Structure 1
Amino acid sequence: MIRTLLLSLIAVLCAVAAQAQVSFGEPSKFNDGWLFKLADDSTAVNPDYDDSKWRKLDLPHDWSIEGQLSPSLASCTGFLPGGIAWYRKHFTPAGDAARQYIYFEGVYNRSEVYVNGHLLGKRPNGYVSFMYDMTPYLVPGDNVIAVRVDHSRYADSRWYTGSGIYRDVWLVEAPETHIAQWGVGYETTRLTDDRADIKVTVDIENPEKAKKLQVKATLTDADGKVVSQSAAGVNNGKSTLTLRLKNPERWDIDNPYLYKLNTELWANGKRIDGSTTTAGLRSLEFNPDKGFALNGRWMKVKGVCLHHDAGVLGATVPEEVWERRLANLKSIGVNAIRCAHNPQAPALYDVCDRIGLLVMDEASDEWEFPKRKWIEGWNKGTPGFDGTYDFFEEWIDRDVTDMVRRDRNHPSIFMWSIGNEVDYPNDPYSHPVLDGSTISQPMFGGYNPEAPNAERIGKIAKRLAACVRSVDTSRPVTGALAGVVMSNETEYPEAVDVVGYNYTEDRYDTDHATYPSRIIYGSENRSDIDAWYAARDRDFIFGQFIWTGTDYLGESGIWPARGFYT
């Protein structure tokens, strides 16, 4: 009986977590009973395809970690393979919901999703979450989902990515008119000891198909007591409400207090949809001379960078692993996490919300041109140039926007990063300043006139910063600069609100004097004591992120190494 109750509680908590992610409908995990084949077969898209001999498995699943290690593969992947594979799942639609959606937390990468032979869509980015409406293609009885995953360009990253449907999948049932995907957002517009004002925004899908729409928002405290309520109408598919409460509890790293925000959509006096998400109330302040303040308290960010894998578990990381890892890091003094260098699984942010860790959410490691990917060992031999650059122009605006829309309700997130080391000198961009005698940072040689001009990164940075601000202006936009001297010759530092310096502690004083309005921090740093002193002893440097908080696969040395430090 106890075990049954525990399982029921876990199921309820999982459903609430998924509901918070998608912001609408009735979600249920869709992980069980999948079929898998590590081969490419274009006929697998057909619903009547014979998959009786395919491998049976439950998701999440990473086929790379199951593969054979080999010195013939790439060191950047930890000498593990990629490939092309298909997943299939037979299911019978349940319930009488008007719309049925399938939601993927992450598929690495270049996925194509079909239902009963109909293409729902393609999503090349392996880290973003995405959703498709299956409703028009469902039939009574047996239905078939088929997912093609193309990781044939397996050495497409500087670290281990994994391959496959490596995060949870959800089935979401909803009425015809419902809250939009990631359609609920909140922002604390006023926060004092006596009072808090919270602006809640709600986007509605298919509002024209229902009458007399109204949105109701309710905030409850940690004990389940209602502390504020509000209601408003819907205009052009949008609704804005204000919640006010007295004597608010702040979310802080020492006291990560969480409220629950319940948002309901009503039509003709009847509740038709709703969602519940956790909410944390805190204030952020960034100053070029004083650094960073959380809830008015000036502090140092003692952060670490984290990749998304878990060693022998590969890219399929259970929430318990994140619980243990993050609790251990916090116990030794860590107060912030940098997602290196991509949006991570929703579970990571949930844990950071609960235990009190700040998070720097990051969009990508590569923009419009490929970086070097080491094949024989880190900085050894001849690099490869596979990557994600080929879908940059088509997808990056949506990828960045979706990251912010999905994650914006996490109080732990305090900065949005639009990119990591996209300005590494000559990898790929270059600038005449690299021929100067004052350059003290790593680079691949001096100025290369054949390489893309570094001035391009400033224009891209402004474009991506605008994507972030179109969704959220309550947190600063940042970027992790690897070529600060070169980037100073571009519009990049001015395009963001806060400028991260990777391994460039010797530029802190010079650039603070030269650019007195610039807010600077260490976005990636060595783990030696001098790097810490460079932040500790300067009020205007608000902290650092050590590389790394936990060892990771890939970016490895020569065979038989598996990771960066081996």
Structure 2
Amino acid sequence: MIRRKWNDNWVMTKADESPLMAAMGGVSEQNVLTLPHDAMIHEKRTKDTKNGHQTGFYPGGCYTYTKMFDAPVEWQNKDIYVEFEGVYEHAKVYINGSYAGGHPYGYTEFSVCANDYLNYGRQNMLQVIANNSGEENSRWYSGSGIYRNVNLHVGEPVHIAVNGIRVSTPEIDEEIAVATVKVELVSIASVRKKVTLETVIKDQNGDVVGKDSMPVTLFARTKEQVFARIGVEHPKLWSVEEPNLYTVEVYVKEGGDKLDEGKEPFGFRCLSLTAQKGLRINGKNVNLRGACIHHDNGIIGAATYERAEERRIQILKKAGFNCVRSSHHPISRALLDACDREGMLVIDELFDCWTKAKNNNDYSMDMSDYWEKDAKQMVAKDYNHPCVIMYISGNEIQEAATARGAQMCREITNKLHELDGTRYVTTAINGLLACMDRMGDIICDITGMTMEQMIAMQSQPPEPEEASSAQGGVDQANGNTDFMKGPMADAFATNHIVTEMLEEFADITDLTGYNYLTARHEMEHTLSPNRIVLGTETLPSDLVRLWKIVRENAHVIGDMTWTGWDYLGEAGSGCIYYDGRQGFMSNWPISVAGMGDIDILGNRRPISYFREIVFGLRKEPYIAVERLEHYGEMPSHSAWPWKDELESWTWKGYEGKPCVVNVYSDAEMVELFLNGTSFGKKPAGEPEDFYASFELMYEPGTLTAVNYRNKKEAERWNLTSASNEVTLCAEADRRSIIADGSDLVYIMISLKDEKGTKNLQMQKTIDISVSGEGTLIGVGNADPGTENHYDYPIWDTYDGYLLAVVRATNTPGTITVIAASEGMGSQKIEIKTEAR
């Protein structure tokens, strides 16, 4: 069956409002919405919500979505399915008042068969209750409501099942590749039917490169699985560098009539994984340059739009990543489609917990009853996507060091292999959480203390922490930092008690994923020569060591940093504080994590360019300046942040005051100039962790960093001060979008001087207005501590930027966006919306 979006003309009401009134038209026109929709992002944040920092102080709620629709009489002898790609959470679906189905998990798809509930030839009412009122059910910003697409499937008496086409590519060489197409056919007819199944493979140009036709007899009310094996000559393989896609088209015909059809993109690519050769794609070694990401789309909340996901993947790939890990839940179809097109590898994740809770109302309460169905749904969604190379069955599972945990791991791993034998399975192990029951024994073993001595020491008040550098040093952190990075972390990771506790669990999956256990990566080859390791979650500050381990050890296939993109929730966990705060449990009004290579608007932070250099993808040096207003102050922060710095040499009011300038480089030596005056050469490159720091007095002008290779000048890079005479600059990422009710345009607003240099220091209040065939769905900056609302049109720039997101209507025409600021005038942008 063809998947058709069914997102128009829904009405959302809250639990304290009347869904019946909504169904009867007792709501204003402005309440009618087009999905996807995140209700949580529009709620009022409050510091006393039980969700607290976990969801960014956004409260949950219970929401009813109602859609009135006609069911044509000709549907009467057909299968009608409504497919939900994601409802957060505990969804219940009612058709004409009768319960038709539901699903507790907020991240896996589910379908409801509507046949028995429809009034044919009349108007019908579909209601979906999304109950996210159980607070403390997520460790991050979850969103609420129908936040992904709803699709309608209409099946003829003989049709292709929902997710009924699966393509595998078991044989590939340069001359020919084989695509095995499995089709699940369904007959709801009361008599035997003989049909013809036609399968066609097309390349990216739409040319037919392979086809097959076969007769199939279906008996009354039965299902059949039919296989077509099709050879494609001189296949263009899918890879990160060349993401070549094909499309399989399947047609069910009776006589000359077409009963049904289905289309699925796929790619020819083969995977291999060994401790001796690492990960190979199409016979070539690939090290995973990975980014963990959450599912929210920043200032527009959890709503999943195709363009939002595409933009995110494009920016991440441009920043040097070749793999994303969905943290910690199944990824959206839209993001998978984007990864297929852009050439981004995907590690899709099933759960954040199994039976042992991390939060009072999390999915541990339902996991035992629903995990198998969730696994089936995740695999059904992912199967045809060449970007997907691996599944993670669980993140930081607390049962990992127990016999029961190992048994559960075997059960889930075997099920994923049964569902999909073409991909690998792992878990993401956090040794600290898994081995918590024996932490006392482990610490005593590491330190040589007795248990009595350790207890006595813990009863003493802690010594004040010292900053590791004058400005945002990466080694100081709060909480469990000692067990995440540094000598104590390494001693913990390699401790024999930890090894013994994790051994059975780690041996079950195809490869072993470790969160923050860097010191184990190399030693695993000695302990178990066939074991393959992936850093499933790692610290940015540990990047240099991690990547050296990956380069030098075939059994270590990559590094997935936490995190690639900043996100809502876990608020303040990556922020750097100068007010004496410790930890991030009480940090109202912060709403975002405050970490990540890419900020919440999609702008690259300095750590992103540093990572690009460490990966060997950038030869030019890069200049980052630590914030002058905090020079010499003692910061506090968790283990996750990088340095508190900007790509800016505009610091009005700090003339003649000291500052720290960091030059990132893979060259042997770097030299820093300010307005032509040299501040000397310093060693850089890998021996110096790829950077050199300079301390100097600020004066406006131009900083120049110069690389020296083999004692000769090589690459250089400049950073120039902006003047105070700036103009408002609004730049749309596209000037033409599709009038389909869901396409987006992103408008980045900045302040530039007459030479085009951005002034990141200056702050201006901007008013955004939208008219024509578009709707403003989000405005915001990257300030983690803002109390503004992302659906409010008036915002200040922060670190030089402001972002507005506009959504197209269903009507072709023009969208007019005006950005205005007092004393600076306005700038108008027009975007064309065109029919698909």
Q: 2:268 aligned with 1:301, yes or no?
A: no
Once the two structures are superposed, the pairs formed by residues 55-204 of structure 1 within 5 Å of their partners are: 55-73=31-49, 74-94=52-72, 96-97=74-75, 98-139=78-119, 140-204=121-185
**SS of match in other structure, 1:327:** helix
Separation in 2, partners of 1:230, 1:95:
35
| TM-score for the superposition, normalised by structure 1 | 0.84
In structure 1, what residue type is equivalent to 2:535? G
**Residue 23 of structure 2 contacts residue 68 of structure 2 at CA under 8 Å; is this kept in 1?**
no
**SS of match in other structure, 1:106:** coil
Once the two structures are superposed, the pairs formed by residues 104-503 of structure 1 within 5 Å of their partners are: 104-139=84-119, 140-206=121-187, 209=190, 210-234=192-216, 237-267=224-254, 270-371=257-358, 373=359, 385-423=360-398, 429=399, 454-483=402-431, 485=498, 489=502, 491-503=504-516
Separation in 2, partners of 1:263, 1:103:
20
Separation in 1, partners of 2:40, 2:429:
31
**Residue 23 of structure 2 contacts residue 125 of structure 2 at CA under 8 Å; is this kept in 1?**
no
Alpha carbons of 1:198 and 1:62: their partners in 2 closer, same or farther (altered >3 Å)? same
For 1:512, the equivalent position in structure 2 comes to 525
**SS of match in other structure, 1:505:** coil
Once the two structures are superposed, the pairs formed by residues 1-20 of structure 1 within 5 Å of their partners are: none
**Residue 23 of structure 2 contacts residue 66 of structure 2 at CA under 8 Å; is this kept in 1?**
no
**Residue 47 of structure 1 contacts residue 143 of structure 1 at CA under 8 Å; is this kept in 2?**
no
RMSD between superposed Cα atoms in Å: 2.1
**Residue 262 of structure 1 contacts residue 275 of structure 1 at CA under 8 Å; is this kept in 2?**
yes
For 2:588, the equivalent position in structure 1 comes to 559
**SS of match in other structure, 2:41:** coil
Alpha-carbon deviations, 1:504-526, whole Å to 9, x = none? 11001222211111111111111
**Residue 232 of structure 1 contacts residue 239 of structure 1 at CA under 8 Å; is this kept in 2?**
no
Separation in 1, partners of 2:525, 2:92:
48
Alpha carbons of 1:430 and 1:105: their partners in 2 closer, same or farther (altered >3 Å)? closer
Shift of 1:208: 6.4
Alpha carbons of 1:62 and 1:509: their partners in 2 closer, same or farther (altered >3 Å)? same
Separation in 2, partners of 1:298, 1:127:
32
Separation in 2, partners of 1:555, 1:177:
48
Give the % identical residues.
32
**Residue 455 of structure 1 contacts residue 490 of structure 1 at CA under 8 Å; is this kept in 2?**
no
In structure 2, what residue type is equivalent to 1:530? R
Higher-Rg structure is: 2
Separation in 1, partners of 2:563, 2:135:
23
**SS of match in other structure, 1:349:** helix
Alpha-carbon deviations, 1:381-436, whole Å to 9, x = none? xxxx221111111111100111001111001001111111113xxxxx485xxxxx
In structure 2, what residue type is equivalent to 1:292? L
Shift of 1:488: 5.1
Alpha-carbon deviations, 1:14-41, whole Å to 9, x = none? xxxxxxxxxx14x432212111111157
Shift of 1:355: 0.8
Alpha-carbon deviations, 1:276-329, whole Å to 9, x = none? 111100111111122111110112110101101012211013222222221111
In structure 1, what residue type is equivalent to 2:91? S
Structure with the bigger RCO (C-alpha within 8 Å, sep 6+) is 1
**SS of match in other structure, 1:212:** strand
For 2:536, the equivalent position in structure 1 comes to 523
**Residue 462 of structure 1 contacts residue 495 of structure 1 at CA under 8 Å; is this kept in 2?**
yes
For 1:548, the equivalent position in structure 2 comes to 563
Deviates more, 1:231-240 or 1:342-351: 231-240
Separation in 2, partners of 1:419, 1:352:
22
Alpha carbons of 1:214 and 1:513: their partners in 2 closer, same or farther (altered >3 Å)? farther
Alpha-carbon deviations, 1:180-232, whole Å to 9, x = none? 11111011111000110111111122366541234221111112111111234
**Residue 493 of structure 1 contacts residue 499 of structure 1 at CA under 8 Å; is this kept in 2?**
yes
Alpha carbons of 1:486 and 1:181: their partners in 2 closer, same or farther (altered >3 Å)? farther
**Residue 455 of structure 1 contacts residue 489 of structure 1 at CA under 8 Å; is this kept in 2?**
no
Alpha carbons of 1:264 and 1:561: their partners in 2 closer, same or farther (altered >3 Å)? same
Separation in 2, partners of 1:361, 1:268:
42
**Residue 459 of structure 1 contacts residue 491 of structure 1 at CA under 8 Å; is this kept in 2?**
no
| TM-score for the superposition, normalised by structure 2 | 0.58
Alpha carbons of 1:144 and 1:526: their partners in 2 closer, same or farther (altered >3 Å)? same
**Residue 21 of structure 2 contacts residue 27 of structure 2 at CA under 8 Å; is this kept in 1?**
no
**Residue 400 of structure 2 contacts residue 505 of structure 2 at CA under 8 Å; is this kept in 1?**
no
In structure 2, what residue type is equivalent to 1:188? T
Deviates more, 1:555-564 or 1:80-89: 555-564
Separation in 2, partners of 1:53, 1:102:
24
Alpha carbons of 1:318 and 1:137: their partners in 2 closer, same or farther (altered >3 Å)? same
Question: Number of residue pairs matched?
Answer: 501
Give the structure with the larger strand fraction: 2
Deviates more, 1:458-467 or 1:490-499: 490-499
**Residue 106 of structure 1 contacts residue 168 of structure 1 at CA under 8 Å; is this kept in 2?**
yes
For 1:443, the equivalent position in structure 2 comes to none
**Residue 487 of structure 1 contacts residue 493 of structure 1 at CA under 8 Å; is this kept in 2?**
no
**SS of match in other structure, 1:89:** strand
Separation in 2, partners of 1:249, 1:465:
32
Separation in 2, partners of 1:214, 1:455:
52
Deviates more, 1:342-351 or 1:492-501: 492-501
Shift of 1:537: 2.6
**Residue 211 of structure 1 contacts residue 268 of structure 1 at CA under 8 Å; is this kept in 2?**
no
Alpha carbons of 1:486 and 1:397: their partners in 2 closer, same or farther (altered >3 Å)? farther
Unaligned runs of 5+ in 2: 435-497, 572-583, 595-783, 785-836
Alpha-carbon deviations, 1:129-157, whole Å to 9, x = none? 11111122111221101111111113211
**Residue 252 of structure 1 contacts residue 294 of structure 1 at CA under 8 Å; is this kept in 2?**
yes
Separation in 2, partners of 1:455, 1:233:
51
In structure 2, what residue type is equivalent to 1:549? G
**SS of match in other structure, 1:237:** strand
Separation in 2, partners of 1:141, 1:111:
26
Separation in 1, partners of 2:188, 2:229:
21
Shift of 1:47: 9.8
Shift of 1:121: 0.6
**SS of match in other structure, 1:470:** helix
Moved over 6 A (4+): 46-49
**Residue 195 of structure 1 contacts residue 245 of structure 1 at CA under 8 Å; is this kept in 2?**
yes
**SS of match in other structure, 2:71:** coil
For 1:7, the equivalent position in structure 2 comes to none
Shift of 1:461: 1.3
